[in-house]
Structure 1
Amino acid sequence: MPTPTERVRAAYRRIAEADRPEVWITLRPEEEVVAEAGALEERLAAAAGTPEAERIPLAGTLVAVKDNIDVAGLPTTAAHPGFARTPDVSATAVERLVAAGGLVLGKTNMDQFATGLVGTRSPYGAVRNALDPARISGGSSSGSAVAVALGIVDVALGTDTAGSGRVPAALHGIVGLKPTLGLVPNTGVVPAARPYDTVTVFAPDLATGQRALAVVTGPDPRDPASRGWPADVRLAPRDPARIAVPTEEGLAPLSEAERDTFQRAVDRFAEAGAVVERVDVAPLLEAARLLYDGAIVAERHAAVGEFLEAHRGDGRSDPTVAGIILAAADLPASRLAADQHRLAGYRATARALLSGFDGLLVPTTVGHPTLDEVAADPVGTNSRLGTYTNFVNLLDLAAVAVPAGTADGHPFGVTVVTDAFDDQVALDLAGLLTGAEPGPALPANGLELAVFGAHLRGQPLNHQLTDLGARFVEATTTSGDHRMVALRTTPPKPGLLRVDSGGSALRCEVWEISPAGLGAFLAALPAPMTLGAVTLADGRTVVGFGCEPAAAVGGEDITHHGGWIAYLESLESLESLG
């Protein structure tokens, strides 16, 4: 396996081979990053075999950072040379990546002040698509997406207000993770529209992206809008998953080839056993228009309008960006208040639409324009690209964008949209589409629960786990100090008892469930069932289902069967014998 130093050397060779200078606004000197890689190798050697090693999960991961996110010692320009400043402290997301072993190569080009989905609105040059230089890369996180698509870095940080962490992913056949607002702190990030901004992750695959996302999430007291995971967070979709998809009318903006490719993604869900239902997404697409056509655009003026006013006519402000932001200067506060009220109504509509579904599948974007097409119609082209992305942050939803094939000769992507904090649900559903194996749950605050009978997969009460978003972890056995009895309940259940002698290893399943989910189980637990400590074969102790000792007195001892399913199979065998 290559060392961090070897990986850095290879990345700089790839940068030279690719010859895409417009990707970077600031590229760090190779020897500077090599020195950091060497220090990381020393840290890894010292941590080997100690708990410290677990705190370096991204050791040697190569990172690119969008240039509206601070990296200590490097200029932050937000793609405007006059805005440049050099911070002493990195953004929280960058600090966390570096602490986990990430190596930052440099700052990437972007649509100026993160205003655009095209990747051409920059005085540092239009960022060309990694696969077809005549076409756009998508923006505003253009350079970050291209750095991943060219194989230069493992992950790249972007930002997303209207779709900037998703559209460039779709146009390059890579993964874009747009977390719930506030889960990744915006400390050290130049705002675009502050209430709707989030740091995002680009990666070549879901597993790599999720590892990085897991590192950067978590509250930061320096960011008052940052949020932690709720106690009732869902850790997995239902079984079977329920997926909403747009009606034919909702897919009207797509070309025929794009509709066909989208339908193949829908079919993959159905083939995986998911329940698919068509829904009317018109209210979501209406909400999307508030981002630029309504008074919400005043948030962009609040972020950088004063700077742009002071730099009118300096030749370095992108005219389209300046036109959008400066036009918001005279919007009355009453109109902003009215649009915020409308937005609250759309949020309620979105919650109702998604109720009962694990997620909504939508196309990530529409078409793949050429650089010339954007130059001819910069606003109209940008608007079409945001058709299925602009509503997501406005409505406080999470999203995962993944490749779905090709259409009209270019990459085509789809996005799984979920309710706020259902980020792991979105990742799992995206995994169904891409064939990715599910990794550890995000967040890692779930509690392990051992189940032995009616809550096992395929048994009548398993839905009580999946309805709460519980996540299957493993099938295993207990240690040898437990016994099992068949209780006289409806439906029939096993009772588990800890004993000093005469016990046996008993088959069980371990599930991960949110703290509030476990509390719900405890509150609704019928007699004579209990929840208590269960020791597993590997020695760890988890919460598990047991029973009151008095109830076990009249039950049949079934320990010798080794588990509930084997006991049920023995009953079926007896019945078949007549």
Structure 2
Amino acid sequence: MSLESLNERYRAFITLKEVRGKPEGRLKGLRFAVKDVIFVRGVRTTAGSKILADFVPERNATVVERILDEGGIIVGKANTHEFAIGATGTSSAYGIPRNPVDNERITGGSSSGSALAVALGMADVGLGTDTGGSVRIPASLCGVIGFKPTLGLIPTDGVIPFSWSLDTIGILARDLSLVRLTFEVISNKRLENGTTSVSKRLVLGVFRLGDDEGSKGVRKVVDKLSSHFDVTEVKLPVLDQRGNWARRVIASVEGAAFHKPLYEAYKHLYFPDVRRAIEFGMSLSGVDYVNAFRVRKDAIREFVKVMKGVDFLLTPTTKIVAPRISDVVGREQEYRETLISNTELFNLLGAPSVSLPLGSYNGLPVGLMVTGALYDDLRLLSVSEEIIRIVGR
């Protein structure tokens, strides 16, 4: 089936337009789906909104420039929940993307099209953004790998912002080697300690493994890993009890600050759930914002202390598998809060986190999220490769 025919059926891309850079390089011939909040020079960038339907950037985002300089090929601009403010993917002015396993279900979001293009084989690698889980959530629901690096390692200039304090470029693929290669090309900093000695028996801390669909979907995987690693339950009370609130306050206030002029001019053009999210940010006070950062500081201190006793954390990426589109439309806010409840905690911390397509529940995929210490990104990817090998994906 042609890209155009696939796209007509699944709505992975808002704009299909091939852009080539240098003919040689480390990414030679690899096809990239670029989320439609990331600038590609000469190709419209809509952010999934009618408001930006005719916006065409005159420059590339730094990450796009680096991909093209290394021989990568841009396939097109991938669908997104409007302005990346949502976790379901259903609020896009350019069609609702459909889950590759069951096209009556959502892909998750907000990097919905990037995950979908990778799952369908329309692209080798997807570029997305992750402010509360927007790479890892669709990775979990679509059955691909979704990696959110340590905050600040990948430049975000040339990206329409949601939250300056939390926005992260993320990478989606079906193979971890492509995730690592892309990360090495687009990141700002060369990290050390990128391999993990198999002679050391690592300690994996289990966090938020409960009785929800996601937990049931990955529990057998965690049990299997316990014969290869030391697996122990960990508690992060500050993060667990106050982290969701703090992350949402920070993102909401900063999102409202960016959108205020657009909101005042085009309020009627926003999707209802996105408009409500912006209005929530406007309703918060400076005191709320400062208190959220105080929680963030306490949560990071707690996390650093816990990570001295474990190597990595294991968490279900999402608490639910992909719900039906018909159940979600009109209830995006309710589903957003459920979908981001695990992932957003690690945005608050800024820690590297990857969703691996290792679980399933009722025949639908759900990810196992592996999280490392700050700047331990390459070791995280190495351990993730070992985990996939053990589970026998």
Alignment TM-score, normalising by the size of structure 2: 0.92
Match of 2:289 in 1: 336
C-alpha distance in structure 2 between counterparts of 1:235 and 1:357, whole Å: 17
Structure 2 residue 44 is matched with structure 1 residue 75? yes
Pick one of 207, 212, 218 that aligns with 1:254: 212
Structure 2 residue 236 is matched with structure 1 residue 267? no
Match of 1:22 in 2: 11
Match of 2:309 in 1: 356
Report the CA distance between 1:420 and its aligned residue: 1.2
Pick one of 69, 74, 89 that aligns with 1:104: 74
Match of 1:242 in 2: 203
C-alpha distance in structure 1 between counterparts of 2:3 and 2:283, whole Å: 48
Partner-residue secondary structure (3-state), 1:328: helix
Report the CA distance between 1:277 and its aligned residue: 1.0
Match of 2:270 in 1: 317
Matches within 5 A, 1:374-393: 374-393=328-347
Pick one of 53, 59, 76 that aligns with 2:28: 59
C-alpha distance in structure 1 between counterparts of 2:6 and 2:79, whole Å: 19
C-alpha distance in structure 2 between counterparts of 1:284 and 1:321, whole Å: 26
C-alpha distance in structure 1 between counterparts of 2:313 and 2:282, whole Å: 36
Match of 2:371 in 1: 417
Aligned pair count? 386
Match of 1:302 in 2: 257
C-alpha distance in structure 2 between counterparts of 1:185 and 1:17, whole Å: 31
C-alpha distance in structure 2 between counterparts of 1:266 and 1:17, whole Å: 35
What is the letter of the counterpart of residue 204 of structure 2?
I
Larger Rg: 1
Match of 1:209 in 2: 179
Match of 1:565 in 2: none
Pick one of 208, 232, 238 that aligns with 1:277: 232
What is the letter of the counterpart of residue 364 of structure 2?
H
C-alpha distance in structure 1 between counterparts of 2:34 and 2:389, whole Å: 28
Partner-residue secondary structure (3-state), 2:11: helix
| CA 1:236–1:268: 2 relative to 1, 3 Å | farther
What is the letter of the counterpart of residue 426 of structure 1?
L
Report the CA distance between 1:284 and its aligned residue: 2.4
Are 1:148 and 1:156, in contact at CA under 8 Å, matched by a contact in 2? Answer: yes
Partner-residue secondary structure (3-state), 2:87: coil
Are 1:15 and 1:152, in contact at CA under 8 Å, matched by a contact in 2? Answer: no
Report the CA distance between 1:241 and its aligned residue: 1.1
Alignment TM-score, normalising by the size of structure 1: 0.64
C-alpha distance in structure 1 between counterparts of 2:242 and 2:154, whole Å: 24
| CA 1:17–1:263: 2 relative to 1, 3 Å | closer
Match of 2:161 in 1: 191
Structure 2 residue 335 is matched with structure 1 residue 399? no
| CA 1:260–1:342: 2 relative to 1, 3 Å | closer
What is the letter of the counterpart of residue 358 of structure 2?
A
Of the two structures, which has the highest relative contact order with CA contacts closer than 8 Å and spacing of 6 or more? 2
- Cα deviation, 1:258-307, whole Å, max 9, x if unaligned, reads 43442222233223x31111112443233432256535520111222321
- Listed as ranges, the gaps of 5+ residues in structure 2 are none
Are 1:242 and 1:276, in contact at CA under 8 Å, matched by a contact in 2? Answer: yes
Match of 1:550 in 2: none
Match of 1:141 in 2: 111
| CA 1:338–1:112: 2 relative to 1, 3 Å | same
- Structure 1 stretch 174-183 or stretch 351-360: which is displaced more? 351-360
Partner-residue secondary structure (3-state), 1:162: coil
- Listed as ranges, the gaps of 5+ residues in structure 1 are 1-11, 45-55, 219-227, 437-578
| CA 1:285–1:215: 2 relative to 1, 3 Å | same
Are 1:128 and 1:137, in contact at CA under 8 Å, matched by a contact in 2? Answer: yes
Are 2:247 and 2:348, in contact at CA under 8 Å, matched by a contact in 1? Answer: no
Are 1:23 and 1:143, in contact at CA under 8 Å, matched by a contact in 2? Answer: yes
Match of 1:478 in 2: none
What is the letter of the counterpart of residue 127 of structure 2?
L
Partner-residue secondary structure (3-state), 2:43: coil
